[in-house]
Structure 1
Amino acid sequence: MRRHSGLLLIFILLTLSGSAQNGVLQFVFTSDVHYGITRHHFRGADDVPSTVVNRAMIAAINQLPSGSIPEDGGVGAGQAIGHIDAILITGDIANREEKGVQSAATSWGQFEADYDHLLGTKDWNNKPTPILLSPGNHDVSDAVGFWRPMTPGVDASSMAGIYNRMMKPTHPLTAATYNYTTDKIHFIRNIGGIRLLFVDCWPDSTDQAWAEQHLKGEGPVFLFTHSNPDVEPRFFTNPNGNHGVDSVDKFENLLPELYQDGQTVEGATLIEQRGLAGFLQRHPEIKAYFHGHNNYTEFYQWQGPDKNISIPCFRVDSPMKGKFSSKNETLLSFELVTIDTKAKTMTVRECFWNSVPGDPSVLKWGEVKTMGL
């Protein structure tokens, strides 16, 4: 009996670690969950709170392990999904606290209540799926202030929450003690030999300098950030006067780097984009760039302002502010990233999680891209 029990235990352990042994990793990527606002319409109701919509998306994510990957020729095609090894969210956890929007503290509390307690997926080792976060422009504006009135004027709750979860300080920060200038959120997680590089709203020169010191070792790197590579001027620190956030210049000071292409938010970001392109050229191990902010799905190649680089980019939809899905709820989507670490290939698939609003069990697959690593 003891011998049979030992064999049974070995079988169970091999079953749980099978996905690790065959080298397949799977991530769910989403962004811009925007706690604090409402959707105009969702599943037969109007003015639906972000908590309701995000819980519906979480329920859809929870369905993935019991489903199968479509027969599309990509990594894992036709196979059971089984495990989700990370949930990746690139910011705008809390909406900016403008008129009619709740505080960042309330929004952050709702996010943790939903994603920590309702998410039921497990990773390849049968442990709860980790959630990896970067901040968005709304999170940062809540912490540093904005050029339009907010209530309260400053609330760093979501930034402090993201910092504590991702950076794991010895003494956790609070909304009162968090300092955006010094408490930077940038980190690398190695999951199954794949390095996930998370930076602030956009990889400016300060994040690039940090990454230069930490991108050592083997294995492909995926960069996760909030904004698209062709970043907007307003993200940078005001180059004028005392460099503050004001209603005249309308710079948002989301990034420590001073804006270099002029003095107004109507300008270009050619200098800044060239800096990013140079960084990516120096680090060919960075194989893909994942981001939110624009709130729609697109798989594309970013070539830089001088067309001297080509990096695969994956833009993702928002459950609350989708460019297209806010008008047509059947287009709501997240992305499933499936990686074969042995064959060094990756497939990113768009998953429509509300294609039949009256039947939440239906998941439909959309755009797909397979690439080598």
Structure 2
Amino acid sequence: MIFAKRKFNVCSMVAVLALSFSALGGCGSDSTSAPAIQATAPATAATMLYTSDAHYGIKRAAAYAFNGYSNAQQVNSAMVSVMNTMPTVVLPADGGVNAGAVINKVDYVVEGGDIANRMQSDPKNGYSTYVQSAYDSWKQFEAGYINTLKFPMLMLPGNHDVSNAVGYTKTMSRDGGITTAASGTFTNLDGSVMAFIYNMFVKAGTFNTSTKNAAQDSYSNTTYQTAANKIYYSKDIAGVHFMFISMWPDLDAQAWMEADLAKISSSTPAIIFTHDEPTTEGKHLTDKAGPTIFANKFENLLVNVSEYDTVALGTTADGVAATTVSVPFHTQGNMSTRAAQRTFVRFLQRHKNIVAYFHGNTNFNEFYTYTGPDNLVSLPVFRVDSPMKGYYTGQDDATVAPTPGVFDTNLLSYQVISIDTVASKMTVREYFWKTKAWGASSTISLAPRAL
């Protein structure tokens, strides 16, 4: 069930939220300086900014550039400069956490993955040569975010970051060296993003990132298939337990989270940040033929094994005998991940204190509820926009037109998360960073879920 889906910059388009959501009508411009009558956000509250899918290494098609900005460095830097002004911004009078107060302090900025774009040629987007190496993309991200933001960061990798480390269904390149994944040659993969994040948030000094080649080679395909170096970590912020999971809660991630959640009370609210939506994507699963086989177009990014489906081709109505074949199940839409989802649903049923789920991957602002394939759970979910590949704000593919009448760079947004541990509430607000205005907002309870 979808509660609020940001497609238009119109306040009346905010949908009414059901279950534990309440849609709060925060629209209109913000103030860059605090009016004298505004109160400062209380010290008991925490504020976080959330964005995803920076996609360093690509650029917008000319038709979709804005303010003269085209490449990922320019666009992300423009967004970061706005983020740095957020402590002076006044929250909307929408009835949510700290409504009408000056933000005053930003505790963290969260990046939800796809820091680097995949290192492949992309002629349809104007890239006859290969996208730059993951290492070069990381260094641009480091300069644009880590060294420029006034607030500490938390982050996790996305599917592009993982594919750069483990291989892909199409040919990739690292600094001009060609990697053909289907042939099993992985000598030119680049695990730099994985290595840097692992060193920063899991275990410092694990991988040598002192030089470009060392960083690229430190996260090889073989190493990444083991459970030892997965990127999972947690952090307690304002009485809430945050878990950062690469890149979807698959079976390995669930095992790690079981152990992690055992360290806190079952009444302590927990929140998952990951890259994929709760349904994940069928192509992200591991091919049952093997984790290094790419022929069936599975990307082998998650440990859950793919499903196949038996389908009938042809029809007897026109005199052609039906032929039964086995095809990769990821070609059958969202149904392709039912088995994987059910493992996650069972996990959620055991942990009612998981009260929210944040993700990127397919990017636009949306607040909705995940119920699982069998409607057995009710989990508030927050999907965030991308500065480069937003579905309505950043089409980088000039050959695929956005939905007519909706594409608008004025809708470029990130989310502002306000937590009040005393009231046991969290409000997530959409902030249009190009126009500096508030959009949709949603407040949820931090109490354990009923379902």
Q: Which residue of 2 aligns with 1:280?
A: 348
SS in 2 for 1:212: helix
1:210 aligns with 2:283: no
SS in 2 for 1:38: coil
Aligned residue among 242, 247, 260 for 1:196: 242
Q: Which residue of 1 aligns with 2:100?
A: 78
Q: Which residue of 1 aligns with 2:414?
A: 334
1:370 aligns with 2:391: no
Letter in 2 for 1:133: M
Deviation at 1:198, TM superposition (A): 0.8
- Distance in 1 between residues matched to 2:67 and 2:85, nearest whole Å: 22
Letter in 2 for 1:226: H
1:223 aligns with 2:288: no
2:207–2:218 CA contact under 8 A, matched in 1: no
Q: Which has the higher contact order (CA 8 A, sep 6+)?
A: 2
Change (3 A) 1:261 1:25: farther
Deviation at 1:167, TM superposition (A): 0.7
Letter in 2 for 1:43: F
Query: Which has the larger Rg?
Result: 2
C-alpha root-mean-square deviation of aligned residues, in Å?
1.6
SS in 2 for 1:175: helix
1:261–1:269 CA contact under 8 A, matched in 2: no
TM-score (norm 1): 0.87
SS in 2 for 1:68: coil
Q: Which residue of 2 aligns with 1:149?
A: 171
Q: Which residue of 1 aligns with 2:282?
A: 233
Q: Which residue of 2 aligns with 1:94?
A: 116
Letter in 2 for 1:313: V
Q: Which residue of 2 aligns with 1:302?
A: 370
SS in 2 for 1:214: helix
SS in 2 for 1:226: coil
1:109 aligns with 2:139: yes
Deviation at 1:180, TM superposition (A): 1.4
- Distance in 2 between residues matched to 1:34 and 1:65, nearest whole Å: 26
1:146–1:245 CA contact under 8 A, matched in 2: no
Aligned residue among 331, 337, 351 for 1:266: 331
- Distance in 1 between residues matched to 2:206 and 2:133, nearest whole Å: 24
Deviation at 1:207, TM superposition (A): 0.5
2:52–2:385 CA contact under 8 A, matched in 1: yes
Q: Which residue of 2 aligns with 1:44?
A: 67
1:24–1:340 CA contact under 8 A, matched in 2: yes
2:192–2:218 CA contact under 8 A, matched in 1: no
Q: Which residue of 2 aligns with 1:12?
A: none
Q: Which residue of 1 aligns with 2:431?
A: 351
- Distance in 2 between residues matched to 1:89 and 1:281, nearest whole Å: 27
Deviation at 1:42, TM superposition (A): 3.2
Stretches of 4+ moved more than 2 A in 1?
40-46, 168-175, 242-246, 260-263
Letter in 1 for 2:161: D
- Distance in 1 between residues matched to 2:293 and 2:80, nearest whole Å: 36
Deviation at 1:261, TM superposition (A): 5.2
Aligned residue among 158, 166, 176 for 2:217: 176
Q: Structure 1, residues 42-86: CA drift from partner, whole Å, max 9, x if none? A: 33326x110000000001101110111011110000101011111
Aligned residue among 238, 243, 252 for 2:299: 252
Q: Name which of structure 1's ranges 176-185 and 108-117 shifts more when overlaid on structure 2.
A: 176-185
Letter in 2 for 1:316: V
Q: Name which of structure 1's ranges 179-188 and 89-98 shifts more when overlaid on structure 2.
A: 179-188
1:163 aligns with 2:168: no
Q: Structure 1, residues 81-124: CA drift from partner, whole Å, max 9, x if none? A: 0111111111000000011311101000000011122112xxxx
Deviation at 1:297, TM superposition (A): 0.7
Q: Name which of structure 1's ranges 165-174 and 61-70 shifts more when overlaid on structure 2.
A: 165-174
- Distance in 2 between residues matched to 1:333 and 1:277, nearest whole Å: 30
- Distance in 1 between residues matched to 2:60 and 2:302, nearest whole Å: 29
- Distance in 2 between residues matched to 1:170 and 1:156, nearest whole Å: 15
Q: Runs of 5+ in structure 1 lacking a partner? A: 1-17, 121-128, 356-362
Q: Which residue of 1 aligns with 2:400?
A: none
- Distance in 2 between residues matched to 1:266 and 1:273, nearest whole Å: 17
- Percent identity, aligned pairs only, is 42
- Distance in 2 between residues matched to 1:157 and 1:307, nearest whole Å: 39
Deviation at 1:176, TM superposition (A): 1.5
